[in-house]
Chains A and B, each alone.
Chain A
Amino acid sequence: MLKEVNSKFIITLTASAIVFMILFFIASNKIYTKNEDLVFSKTFTLKNNLVDTINANNEYSSINSFIKLDSIYTDKLESVKILSTVKTETKNIELLLVISVEHNNKSIFWKSYKLQNQIIDTGKWQEIEQIVDLNNKTFEEQYILKTYFWNKSKSSFLIKDISIESYNELQYISDIILNKN
């Protein structure tokens, strides 16, 4: 009697486990598609070659580089890299790079970064690079990603060649390791 019960149990459990695993593999494959392209190919770059002259009267840079997110990326954005070239009179300025995501003139996301540590020389053009971590946020269509400079110390300086590009640490490191960079 007991043996019969165990046999039933074993058959039930084994059959359930087999069906469970088969259904799971089929269903999970349908629900989640491994999309390596998401990581590697949906990149974008926006470049603005204008020169912006900023002085004590300008609290913000006048060239706002912006991009409509629906045109480039409607899925998660891990981070973006903002590059620009800056010329300053002095090292000790309080210059912040601001990135904001806006919708209908309302800020959805806002971050600022101090750039003064990147300013090494005065009187010559220097490239500034800032990685902005967006924590894989999902931004909806019509959202606008905007970047500008905040001249907190009200100093004088020049900015040119502002570019925004999608950035992925994995991609970047892979490129170094596999010698594509």
Chain B
Amino acid sequence: MKLYNKNIALFILTIMSLSFVIFFYGDILKSPNDYMFSYVGDALKNYANFKYHLEYDESLFTYNGVFYPYGESLFFTDIHPAIVTFYKLLSYIFPSIGYYSVGLINTQILLSIVLTSIVLFFVFIKLKVSEFTSVFGAFSITVLSSHILLLEYGHWALSYAWAAPLAWVLLINFLEKERKILWSIIIAINTLFWFFTHGYQGLSTLLFTASVFLFLFTKNIKNVNYLTKMLKYFVIQIIVPVILYYVVVTFSDNHASRIDMPFVTNYISDINFVISPNNSFFKPLFYSIYNFSIPELSWGVIGNYIGISSIIVIVIFVFRFLKLKHLLEQSNFFIYILASILVLLYSFGIPFKYNLEYLLDYIPAIRQFTGLGRFAWIFYFVITVFSFFIIDKSIKNKYLRYSLVLLSAFVMTLEGSSYHYKISEFIHKPNVLKKENIASVYKELTNVDVSKYQAVITLPFFIKYGNPYVPSFTHKSGYLYSIIPSYTGLPTLNAVLSRPSVDEGRKITQIFSPNQYKKDIKNDFKSDKPFLILYTKEKLVKQEQIFLDKCKLLKSTEKYELYEIDFNTIFEYDSDIIVDEFNNIKGSYYKIDKWFLSDTSYFYYNNFDNLDTDTILLGTGSLSKNKLDSNLILKLDCHELELEKEYNLSFWYFNTGFNQAFTTIKLMEFNKSSNKNDKVYTTNPLHSEIINSMWIYVEFNFRITNKNNVLKLNNESGKLFSDNKIYIDNILIRESDVNVFSQLSDSLIIKNNHIFTY
């Protein structure tokens, strides 16, 4: 008979959830492939990448639409690997499935809302909460879950709020049922599924499960039999999924040198974000009592707010703890709450934010998870369920109990609906990834004969996120870069990826460097077909403009221009030109040691060959120093420099990934009398545009203001990646309009610190 009640209750809950979804998202539900949840943040690229993979990728586990010619492992593309692989397999039977990509994602998101309420209902039932409370508790907790706010940023896989409740309901089954091996295997499969859907979802379920085990072990620390028995379940539920995930991701990923993420605090949660609303109509009330905002923490716009009714119930519980503490002992609630608090502390960045980042070195894989605030949702679910549990179990009068459940759920639902009103403002029609919806001015881009080209390059060029080189992203280039791959299947060299290989990113960025430098990417291209260039007509950096000048214009419109460039034009280098130039100037230029100058002006050169260093650009040495050591690189008196002339100081800066990033190089004119800098010039060396293998050319143009001053070249490094060395080679100072040559060997000429081999 109970089962009957349960089924009716579940049916009513499903109707409530569906009517909620229809109320807020009815238009999308009617025609899911015609709307997009958002155009901003990662939304367009996450829709587009999903679509490209289904329509054009030949490989199951590699995404080749961006970051050409390297592509990216499916596990780093934010397109729900487990789910997209299922669709990909279906696409072999139904080839047109890719056309419905946006609709598929939208449907998943909306079904997730209903699914979350259903899974929560089972959590309540498993905790022996009455069906009445279970229905309204599950519904209101689903509505107040702030996962939905991530839709604004295109984080589709993170909006699936049912991951944590599902992990919980499986844990309850494991603890209560007899067939523990079976439930352990189911939990392991569930954790793996979420890892293969989104790393954060996987780690959330894993952390919660592991924390529950930790407190079970602690509670039964003296019971050796129990510990021995539970250890094997721990291995199945925690160790096996981690190993399997690690093995699959490692063996399917052939991209080395991804960023080893530093600990960042922007996306950690805080107790303020748990107990105060960011959107609810109660926000003014809360903020009239206390200013809960923490401007330096971006996570505040999402938060993990548990609702005013939960707060009131928990406060009452605390005040009546002695009388109500028996509730904690029921259904293992004490363990779940402690486990969720432990995960909550991690989401607050504890203990790492207290200058204990080095602890992350012991579990390097954890470093990849920087959005720690997302783990606070475990606490959100446990504490809100507990608040309904308290009402259900502590109030004996049925009518009062029903009334309080309804009131609590009503307030919670009203508060939570603010999220859905907000998100519904971001929903847009049309689905711009459908060919028929592209703005007419861009329509011709879809008619490009892609068979003529191997890839497209969008200018301004960018490799966004996890890449330290020249950042030229604009919204227009970001949008247009997704058009040609999505509509034609032609891959692009540009990329918006969270953890791309830094080495591969450098090789791609090096395409824009002058051709005398060997471009390592040349042999990585699988074809010698030309490249299509899509230029947004926005401001370009110097090397991009030089690159564009070499391209052949195909079409010019008010909004964009299309060019093409031959494969060889990108790489061709005629060494005879520099050799002829050098031979021509040799006789007429002034000679100082090995150098030929067009004028007898100030000249300084240091190749650091007197230093014993393992990392060298040219010669036998370079300057190397720890990033945080005394920051002086070079110190010169200004008395030999002329006040009215402009000088050029250049050098080569070594880099491996991010190890030499987060460093500013400063050129300062120091006034000894005032003990202050009269002038300071700064640059981020990794944002310089000319790349020669692992070295980057950096230059300053400067003038001095006082001949008694001292010129200092310094580095200032932040604490990120600070336990690395920086290397600098070949510092050269010349007048800006004076040419300086040197023939360093039979096959190497230097011109103004640029290197030419022949």
Does A associate with B in a complex? yes
Interface string of B270-312 (1 = CB under 8 A from A): 0000000000010000000000000100101100000000000
Interface string of A80-119 (1 = CB under 8 A from B): 0000000001111110000000000000010000101100
Given known A17-B16, A90-B703, contact A176–B682 (CB-CB < 8 A): no
- Kindly provide the distance from the CB of B534 to the nearest chain A CB, expressed in whole angstroms: 13
For A172, the chain B residues whose CB sits under 8 A away are 475
Task: Tell me if B414 counts as interface (CB < 8 A to partner A).
Answer: yes
Interface string of B657-676 (1 = CB under 8 A from A): 00000000011000000000
The one of B135, B301, B681 that contacts A92, using a Cβ cutoff of 8 Å: B681
Task: Tell me if A48 counts as interface (CB < 8 A to partner B).
Answer: no
Of chain B, the residue at the smallest CB distance from A9 is B5
- Kindly provide the distance from the CB of B391 to the nearest chain A CB, expressed in whole angstroms: 15
**Are A28 and B421 closer than 8 Å at their CB atoms?**
yes
**Are A179 and B441 closer than 8 Å at their CB atoms?**
yes
**Are A152 and B4 closer than 8 Å at their CB atoms?**
no
**Are A94 and B682 closer than 8 Å at their CB atoms?**
yes
A114 to B402, CA, bound (A): 59
Given known A90-B681, A94-B681, contact A173–B414 (CB-CB < 8 A): no
The one of B39, B131, B410 that contacts A24, using a Cβ cutoff of 8 Å: B410
Chain A interface size range: 35 or more
A122 to B44, CA, bound (A): 37
Task: Tell me if A50 counts as interface (CB < 8 A to partner B).
Answer: no
Of chain A, the residue at the smallest CB distance from B477 is A176
**Are A177 and B12 closer than 8 Å at their CB atoms?**
no
The one of B15, B421, B440, B680 that contacts A34, using a Cβ cutoff of 8 Å: B421
Please report the number of residue pairs spanning A and B whose Cβ atoms sit closer than 8 angstroms: 143
- Kindly provide the distance from the CB of B638 to the nearest chain A CB, expressed in whole angstroms: 15
- Kindly provide the distance from the CB of B707 to the nearest chain A CB, expressed in whole angstroms: 15
Task: Tell me if B550 counts as interface (CB < 8 A to partner A).
Answer: no
A144 to B617, CA, bound (A): 52
Of chain A, the residue at the smallest CB distance from B541 is A120
**Are A24 and B413 closer than 8 Å at their CB atoms?**
yes
- Kindly provide the distance from the CB of B716 to the nearest chain A CB, expressed in whole angstroms: 12
Chain B contacts with A in 239-262, Cβ cutoff 8 A: none
The one of B1, B4, B135, B684 that contacts A13, using a Cβ cutoff of 8 Å: B135
A119 to B4, CA, bound (A): 72
Task: Tell me if A39 counts as interface (CB < 8 A to partner B).
Answer: yes
**Are A34 and B424 closer than 8 Å at their CB atoms?**
yes
**Are B132 and A16 closer than 8 Å at their CB atoms?**
yes
- Kindly provide the distance from the CB of B393 to the nearest chain A CB, expressed in whole angstroms: 18
A77 to B135, CA, bound (A): 38
A177 to B537, CA, bound (A): 16
**Are B702 and A90 closer than 8 Å at their CB atoms?**
yes
A4 to B9, CA, bound (A): 16
Task: Tell me if B611 counts as interface (CB < 8 A to partner A).
Answer: no
A170 to B44, CA, bound (A): 12
Interface string of B391-418 (1 = CB under 8 A from A): 0000000000010001001100110011
Given known A92-B683, A177-B432, A177-B439, contact A56–B8 (CB-CB < 8 A): no
The one of B402, B476, B683 that contacts A16, using a Cβ cutoff of 8 Å: B402
The one of A2, A28, A135, A176 that contacts B1, using a Cβ cutoff of 8 Å: A2
**Are A20 and B410 closer than 8 Å at their CB atoms?**
yes
**Are B40 and A169 closer than 8 Å at their CB atoms?**
yes
**Are A120 and B542 closer than 8 Å at their CB atoms?**
yes
For A39, the chain B residues whose CB sits under 8 A away are 425
**Are A20 and B681 closer than 8 Å at their CB atoms?**
no
For B108, the chain A residues whose CB sits under 8 A away are none
Given known A25-B23, A92-B667, A179-B440, contact A13–B131 (CB-CB < 8 A): yes
**Are B15 and A17 closer than 8 Å at their CB atoms?**
yes
**Are A154 and B678 closer than 8 Å at their CB atoms?**
yes
Task: Tell me if A72 counts as interface (CB < 8 A to partner B).
Answer: no
**Are B539 and A120 closer than 8 Å at their CB atoms?**
yes
Task: Tell me if B610 counts as interface (CB < 8 A to partner A).
Answer: no
Of chain A, the residue at the smallest CB distance from B12 is A17
The one of B132, B414, B439 that contacts A179, using a Cβ cutoff of 8 Å: B439
Chain A contacts with B in 1-46, Cβ cutoff 8 A: 2, 6, 9-10, 12-14, 16-17, 20-21, 23-25, 27-28, 31-32, 34, 36, 39
A16 to B418, CA, bound (A): 22
Of chain A, the residue at the smallest CB distance from B13 is A17
For A174, the chain B residues whose CB sits under 8 A away are 39, 428
For B421, the chain A residues whose CB sits under 8 A away are 28, 32, 34
**Are A117 and B12 closer than 8 Å at their CB atoms?**
no
Task: Tell me if B626 counts as interface (CB < 8 A to partner A).
Answer: no
Task: Tell me if B96 counts as interface (CB < 8 A to partner A).
Answer: no
A20 to B132, CA, bound (A): 13
**Are A92 and B131 closer than 8 Å at their CB atoms?**
no
Task: Tell me if B479 counts as interface (CB < 8 A to partner A).
Answer: yes
**Are A170 and B681 closer than 8 Å at their CB atoms?**
no
**Are A116 and B682 closer than 8 Å at their CB atoms?**
yes
A93 to B41, CA, bound (A): 31
A14 to B15, CA, bound (A): 10
**Are B410 and A23 closer than 8 Å at their CB atoms?**
yes
**Are B40 and A20 closer than 8 Å at their CB atoms?**
no
A127 to B667, CA, bound (A): 25
Interface string of B680-701 (1 = CB under 8 A from A): 1111100100000000000011
For B646, the chain A residues whose CB sits under 8 A away are 89-90
Interface string of A153-180 (1 = CB under 8 A from B): 1110000000000000110111011110
**Are A56 and B9 closer than 8 Å at their CB atoms?**
no
- Residues of B that sit less than 8 Å from A by CB: 1, 4-5, 8-9, 12, 15-16, 19-20, 23, 38-41, 44, 131-132, 135-136, 281, 295, 298, 300-301, 402, 406, 409-410, 413-414, 417-418, 421, 424-426, 428, 432, 439-442, 471, 475-476, 479, 539, 541-542, 559, 646, 666-667, 677-684, 687, 700-703, 705
Q: Nearest 7 A-B pairs (CB), nearest first?
A: A179-B439, A92-B681, A153-B680, A92-B700, A32-B421, A28-B417, A173-B39
Question: 11 pairs across A/B with beta carbons < 8 Å?
Answer: A6-B1, A13-B9, A20-B413, A21-B16, A28-B414, A28-B421, A56-B678, A174-B39, A174-B428, A176-B475, A177-B479
